[in-house]
Chain A
Amino acid sequence: MSYAGAEIPAVELVDVRPFASHRVLRRLLQRPVAVVALCVILTIYTAGILAPWAAPHGFREVDLSNPFAGPSVEHPFGTDRLGRDMFSRTMWSAQTTVLISVAAFVSGSLVLGVSAGLLSGYAGGRVDSVIMRAGDGFASVPTILLLLIINATLRDRVVDVFRDIEDITGIDGLVSSGAPSYFLVSVGLAIFGWVGMARLIRSQTMALRQSNYVMAARAAGASVWRILGRHLLPNVSHLIVVSLTAGLGAAGLAEIGLTFLGIGVQAPHPSFGVMIFEGSGLTNLRAHPQLMLVPASVIVSLFLSFNLLGDVLTDIMSPRRR
């Protein structure tokens, strides 16, 4: 899975086995690295989820009398050029990261990827070739280029669609809540995010297709959907768990990259991408490096934790490694 900005190395899944979840959790908690990583991820995700209630200030609360303030009790991370509270903005940015990476991962990898993989691996034949050739197509273009184009060209159209939805349903504030850009970024990531998961699930499904329990289910007259959902899905779910960290990390990073280039989440909605962008530039780097260092250290610790947790998870679940 490669998106904008950096590579999150794909985990090696060759030997990963199905597992009892409580056993994996117990072994996970025995590794200090995993515990620390898990804590960091949970802290940042919780901060994001709780931002609407827990953030001391709103993300658009401007205080022009107090720009570029240093850390204080009122503003633990200081304020930016418009006097907005950096601590609150960090929380709101974490919310953006959580929303988009979860939405993109769930719709792309989980829904599209897993069902395409199951279907492709179980049906074989023409269904398999169509799905897999489509996947080859998606995998063979540099994702970042098409993400850039999709986000740059379709945004105004999506805003129009959301306006229409507002008019028809009478719901107010959809457009002003920033929903269109969140929607567009997530959909773009999902469109390109399903291929890796589909390939993974497909190869495992192909191996399980001939297994006795699937044969038995078929002999007993179970429908295709029942076999896929009740028999095959639980036996490939361990693959989903192992790719969870890489998938969430990659999607989050891609959003930050797109927003950094100015075509992801739109102002005034905060994102680590826009925070880093506003903090860089020579004048700010020279006078107020904390504007860049605060968001940078948050996202580095988040992605570092994702990588470490992913490594440990793979390690625990594959018997070949030490």
Chain B
Amino acid sequence: MRGLAGYIVRRLLLLPVILLAVSAITFTLGRLAPVDYVEVQAGTRATPETIERVREARGLNDPVYEQYIRYMGNVLQGDLGDSVRYRGSKVQDVIFPRLWVTVQYNAIVLVLTFAIAIPAGTWAALKRGTWLDPFSIGIFVLLAAVPVLVWIPTLQWLLSVKLGVLPCCGWSVNQRIDDASGVELGVLSKNIILPVLILTLPSVAGVARYMRAQVLEVLDQDYVRTARAKGLEEFAIVFRHIIRNALLPIVTILSFDLAALISGSIFVETLIGIPGIGAYTFESIGSRDYDSIMAIVLLGSAAFMLANLLADIAYGFVDPRIRVGGEVGA
């Protein structure tokens, strides 16, 4: 098979292989920890005999590869295992509502990022040669240099403590629009502003810088000069010729942005107290919740790989000069 279709099929075939490798490594790493979840849960009261009995009953004394095969067999049947932190619940019942929380505000972040960064980057590029160009670039670089974990306390300090305009933390599961209908406020509440702001600011800076570079590239192209020469309005040149052509490569930055959002969500949720998948990741690692950790790593890797694949395909469409499957760029 040649060409794009063959490439996509090859990449899709590689996906389960890598997932299998990642799951095996994660599984083994989890079992390597000297303290397992039985001990974490048992605390100081349980006797060693009790702990040993529970381990035996849950199959934790079997060889690691046997446990792994048993686990993967269950996963294929749609059973992600038992949650340790939420006893009596299945991992899939705990994870998906939390994933939904994270997806909600991350989707807002993504939309906002592109809605702000694309005009801002274009504008900065069009102002090339004036003082506005280095000025806006300076702002982008500064915003991008501040890590999420500095944004969190800084904005909490500024907006909640100093100005008192936003709630510092928490998530509005229990706030309702009015008592009668009982409709939850969800993403409409004020609580969402701070996490969205924290994740959007560095993300905007990155995408805007990239957009600026793309527009600068397009600005010098012959077709833009031709459009100018034939007396086309500036508005039409910018929208029809410049932005449209500069926009396509932006797709590729999506997977990069996704990686930043995954790690950003862990920090934001842990510190602001949002019951999403990021905070759950952190909790699960702390309580040695093997099955939850496995599920999160598998889901995260699969999502990340699909995003990468989409970006690569988009790149192939955008720039036919790139031989798909070969060297992309340099």
* A154 / chain B contacts, CB cutoff of 8 Å: 29, 32-33
Q: In residues 107-146 of chain B, which contact A (Cβ within 8 Å)?
A: 141-142, 144-146
Min CB gap B28→A, angstroms: 9
- Closest A residue to B168 by beta carbon equals A282
Q: In residues 18-60 of chain B, which contact A (Cβ within 8 Å)?
A: 18, 21-22, 25-26, 29-30, 32-35
Min CB gap B66→A, angstroms: 20
Report whether B154 and A296 are in contact in the complex, using a CB–CB cutoff of 8 Å.
Answer: yes
Q: Is B329 an interface residue (CB 8 A)?
A: yes
* A285 / chain B contacts, CB cutoff of 8 Å: 153, 156-157, 161
Report whether A14 and B330 are in contact in the complex, using a CB–CB cutoff of 8 Å.
Answer: yes
Min CB gap B56→A, angstroms: 22
Instruction: Report if A280-B153 is in contact (Cβ < 8 Å); known contacts: A253-B147, A299-B147, A304-B142.
Output: yes
* B149 / chain A contacts, CB cutoff of 8 Å: 5, 256-257, 260, 273, 276
* A62 / chain B contacts, CB cutoff of 8 Å: none
Q: Is B14 an interface residue (CB 8 A)?
A: yes
A77-85, A141-149, A178-186: which one contacts chain B?
A141-149
Report whether A152 and B150 are in contact in the complex, using a CB–CB cutoff of 8 Å.
Answer: no
Q: In residues 1-46 of chain A, which contact B (Cβ within 8 Å)?
A: 2-7, 9, 12-14
Report whether B157 and A203 are in contact in the complex, using a CB–CB cutoff of 8 Å.
Answer: no
Instruction: Report if A153-B14 is in contact (Cβ < 8 Å); known contacts: A5-B263, A9-B206.
Output: no
Report whether B301 and A14 are in contact in the complex, using a CB–CB cutoff of 8 Å.
Answer: no
Report whether A260 and B35 are in contact in the complex, using a CB–CB cutoff of 8 Å.
Answer: no
- The answer for the CA separation of A288 and B264 in the assembled complex, in Å, is 25
Min CB gap B289→A, angstroms: 11
Min CB gap A134→B, angstroms: 10
Min CB gap B15→A, angstroms: 8
- The answer for the CA separation of A164 and B277 in the assembled complex, in Å, is 38
Q: Is A109 an interface residue (CB 8 A)?
A: no
Min CB gap B212→A, angstroms: 12
Instruction: Report if A142-B259 is in contact (Cβ < 8 Å); known contacts: A149-B285, A280-B153, A285-B156.
Output: yes
Report whether B330 and A2 are in contact in the complex, using a CB–CB cutoff of 8 Å.
Answer: no
Min CB gap A96→B, angstroms: 15
Q: Is B245 an interface residue (CB 8 A)?
A: no
Give A contacts to B, CB under 8 Å: 2-7, 9, 12-14, 136-137, 139-146, 148-150, 152-154, 156-157, 200, 203-204, 206, 253, 256-257, 260-261, 263, 273, 276, 279-280, 282, 285-286, 289, 292-293, 296, 299-300, 303-304, 306-308, 311
Per CB-CB distance, the 5 closest pairs between chain A and chain B, nearest first, are A280-B153, A304-B145, A153-B33, A144-B263, A6-B147
